[in-house]
Chains A and B, each alone.
Chain A
Amino acid sequence: KAGVTQTPRYLIKTRGQQVTLSCSPISGHRSVSWYQQTPGQGLQFLFEYFSETQRNKGNFPGRFSGRQFSNSRSEMNVSTLELGDSALYLCASRRDRGDGYTFGSGTRLTVV
């Protein structure tokens, strides 16, 4: 059974650019969540999608957005990148409400 797949694993972008990260959940999982991990702020919740609808959103500016497709794959977009957006972005999926989360290995984004 394949796990949660995040692509790419590493990414270097220039300040002001935009970036799109991808997450493919475990087959049958309908929910995808995104977390940002930085040394200073730790692990912070970005948003959760369930059956193509955003269900919850964390306290991040509007530059951070996401979407989920009919096959449950999810993308996260960050526009107008800032140096502070450099982080490990983790995706997690689960089958349904109340279930546990399975995490991917993350995308390491570096903004220069």
Chain B
Amino acid sequence: AQTVTQSQPEMSVQEAETVTLSCTYDTSESDYYLFWYKQPPSRQMILVIRQEAYKQQNATENRFSVNFQKAAKSFSLKISDSQLGDAAMYFCAYRSTPNFGNEKLTFGTGTRLTIIP
């Protein structure tokens, strides 16, 4: 079974600064998807960024980028120019590909990010 580990329960960053959230995972599969989701107080899980394991290039979405190290099974999220609206719980998640059958999301325990004005 796959596992996802987020070792930082809480992080804080000054507004406009850069912060990196860590995530490691364990799997025996060679192809899979990795995600970062954001959950603000509104409770809705919002997709921040997605990475397909077969792609070596790190995904980027505006101020959000990842550092995907497949061999190390590491998938960190970098948030640049942090804004007050970035304050939320951030979850790292793993998903198998359709070829492997079960496409459920396996989540880490989350990192609570606080933005300091």
Q: Which residues of B contact A35 (CB under 8 A)?
A: 105
Q: Are A43 and B44 in contact (CB under 8 A)?
A: no
Q: Are A103 and B103 in contact (CB under 8 A)?
A: no
Interface residues on B, range: 20 to 34
A38 to B91, CA, bound (A): 14
| A-side interface residues, number (CB < 8 Å) | 21
Interface of chain A, main secondary structure: strand
Write the nearest CB–CB distance from A61 to chain B, whole angstroms. Answer: 18
> Residue-by-residue, is A79-104 near B (CB-CB < 8 Å gives 1, otherwise 0)?
00000000010101000011011111
Q: Is B102 an interface residue (CB 8 A)?
A: yes
> Residue-by-residue, is B69-105 near A (CB-CB < 8 Å gives 1, otherwise 0)?
0000000000000000000000100000110001111
Q: Please report A residues at the B interface, Cβ cutoff 8 Å.
A: 33, 35, 42-43, 45, 48, 56, 58, 88, 90, 92, 97-98, 100-106, 108
